[in-house]
Amino acid sequence: VTSVDRLESSFVCRFGCPLRYVVSGSGRPLVLINAYGVSDDFWTPLADELARSFTVITWNIRGLDDAFDGREMRVADHVDDLVEILDRCGFERADVVGWCSGAKIAIAAASLHPEYVRAQTLLCPNVMPLGDGFETCVTPLQRNLLTVAKLVARRPELAPSIVDSIRDLEAIRGTDGAELEVASPQVKALIMQPFVSSAGVRRYAAMLLDYYQYDVRPMMAALSVPTLVVAARQDRIVDPRIAIEAARRIRDARLAVMDESDHHCPLTDTARIASAIRAFHCQLPERAIVGAIE
Amino acid sequence: VRGAHMNDDVTKVLRELVISRAAFPGQLQLTDDTDLLGEGVLDSIGMLSLVDDIETHLDCAIPAQDLNATTFRSVRSLVAAVVKHAGVRSAP
């Protein structure tokens, strides 16, 4: 239930598949970039909160639905989607917020299209690989998910059994899905999209493998947009040390460590995250450049 | 006797693999009959990642029809599946 008016639109663009986005609120444009495989509904509370200060744009990360069978959406394709939406909306520039795997899309957008990105916030960013010394930052869920993605790529015939086994497990445990031990029932309902069909499992696996191969280290080192990085101390999906390291590698980045927050903080700790985003993005000048932040 | 030795070796490897895939390995007290799913030792993704481990470390491709909760119920049931499909390899 929301009191914020939303305008949902879609248009057909590259790949011949619809690109669906939602605009709400008023003010400077702020794009929320979702993680792979997570329902758009994940953003609703945060989007509503931020719509008081910004024109908030969310979009459906493409690549998992049936229209993409046989075609792969890579990180760079999601960046192109972001640009398409901004052009469609008539926004010359926007602030962006990338959560989890959405963080690489944000970084790539700021790097490949700096003219479109005024400033960015990276929430619990999953920016692996980070190179030697960060092997211990891979959480059990990340390690297992990547293993399964490689398994599906090698043995795609297993995909239907993967869907069935997750359903079996739900029956046994009364729970569901990939993040069993680290997500609340409220969150679990929003992260199961890739696991409801065997085709979805195959496409999700391909997207994950591309994601983990996409190396943003050179981009982070050269970024010139003001950046806030948020690390959630209770994050058991993406190790918070990754966020701290990302902040270290991005010039003049600000780091906020949320001691009580977990990985799903945009949903589970909405007020605090909205406050951090608002405080950072609202104090920047219209044409912000790195080094100009007080 | 050879069969018994094989089971012991497979059991040892599987126990190590399960611990390596557990969501919370430090809290784990694992026996051959621990209910891996019911007691939350493995989540579904952890369970499925074991398929890859078994293929890599035990040279055994668990077929799609055996990817189910019965197979992954315990270390003992996993051993039975590996012994049943020993030497089966996935298509390259």
pLDDT tens, residue by residue, A215-266: 999 999 999 999 999 999 999 899 999 999 999 999 999 999 999 999 999 9
Q: Are strands A28-33 and A54-59 parallel, antiparallel or unpaired?
A: parallel
Please tell me which of the candidates B23, B48, B64 has its beta carbon nearest to residue A140.
B23
Average confidence (pLDDT) over B69-73? 89
Instruction: Look at residue A280 in the predicted model and tell me its pLDDT.
Output: 97
Mutate which: B18, B35, B45, vs A, most A CBs within 10 A = B45
pLDDT tens readout for residues A180-202: 444 566 676 777 778 888 999 99
- The answer to whether residue A48 scores a pLDDT higher than 50 is yes
pLDDT tens string A61-110:
999 887 777 778 999 999 999 999 999 999 999 999 999 999 999 999 99
Question: What band does A172 get if pLDDT is binned at 50, 70 and 90?
Answer: low
Tokens of A228: 């806030």
Handedness of CA A222, A226, A231, A236 (dihedral sign): negative
Q: Determine the residue among A138, A139, A155 to mutate to test chain B binding: the one whose Cβ has the most chain B Cβ atoms within 10 Å.
A: A155
> In what order do the strands lie in the sheet containing A54-59?
A6-12, A18-25, A54-59, A28-33, A94-99, A117-123, A227-232, A254-258
Contact A33, A98 (CB under 8 A): yes
Among positive and negative, which fits the CA dihedral A6, A286, A77, A89? positive
Tokens 């679990």 correspond to what residue? A188
Residue B48 has pLDDT above 90, yes or no: no
Extract the tokens encoding A257: 């460590």
SS3 of chain B: helix, strand, coil, percent, to 5: 55, 0, 45
Asked whether the predicted pLDDT for residue B4 surpasses 80, the reply is no
A185 or A14, which is more confident:
A14
Q: Is A287 on the interface with B (CB under 8 A)?
A: no
Nearest-CA neighbor of A145 among A101, A105, A106, A107? A101
Contact (CB, 8 A) for A189 and A45: no
Pairs of CB atoms within 8 A across A/B: 82
Residue A254 bridge partners (DSSP): A228
The string of pLDDT tens digits covering residues A131-153 is 988 988 998 888 888 999 999 99
Q: Which two tokens stand for residue A186?
A: 């409220």
pTM: 0.89
The reported pLDDT for the residue numbered B76 is 95
How far CA A115 is from CA of A43, A91, A93, A287, in Å, comes to 25, 11, 7, 10
Asked whether the ipTM of the predicted complex exceeds the cut of 0.95, the reply is no
* Res A183: pLDDT: 58
Statement: residue A292 has pLDDT above 60: no
Q: In the prediction, which pLDDT does A72 show?
A: 84
Angle at CA A275, nearest 5°, toward A272 and A279? 145
State the pLDDT at residue A173.
58
Residue-averaged pLDDT of chain A = 89
Q: Report CB contact under 8 Å: B68, A168.
A: yes
Which pLDDT tens digit goes with each residue over A19-41? 999 999 999 999 999 999 998 88
Instruction: Find the mean pLDDT for residues A172-181.
Output: 47
- Give the whole-angstrom CA distance, residue B33 versus residue A219: 49
**Regarding predicted confidence, which is higher, B21 or A31?**
A31
